[in-house]
Amino acid sequence: MRDSGRPGVRRTPQGGRAPRQNPALFALAVVAGTAADDGRAYALANLDKIARTATHLALFVSYAQ
């Protein structure tokens, strides 16, 4: 895991080290839905690093709604 440098999203799981992606997907969905433009851009730019399957992407969309 690495520090993202953004408040609210401190670390993003990468390399398959996290047992579940759900908390990270939830955090990105919250940032994408409530943050200012730079926060939204950060969340969407890093989505592909977290959501590696169609199921992950569907989960992100359900959290974002």
pLDDT tens for each residue of 31-44: 888 878 888 888 88
Token code pair at residue 15: 């390399």
Angle at 47 between CA 43 and CA 51, to 5 degrees: 145
Q: Return d(Cα 57, Cα 2) in angstroms, integer.
A: 21
pLDDT of residue 2: 47
pTM exceeds cut of 0.75? no
pLDDT tens for each residue of 45-63: 888 888 889 999 999 999 9
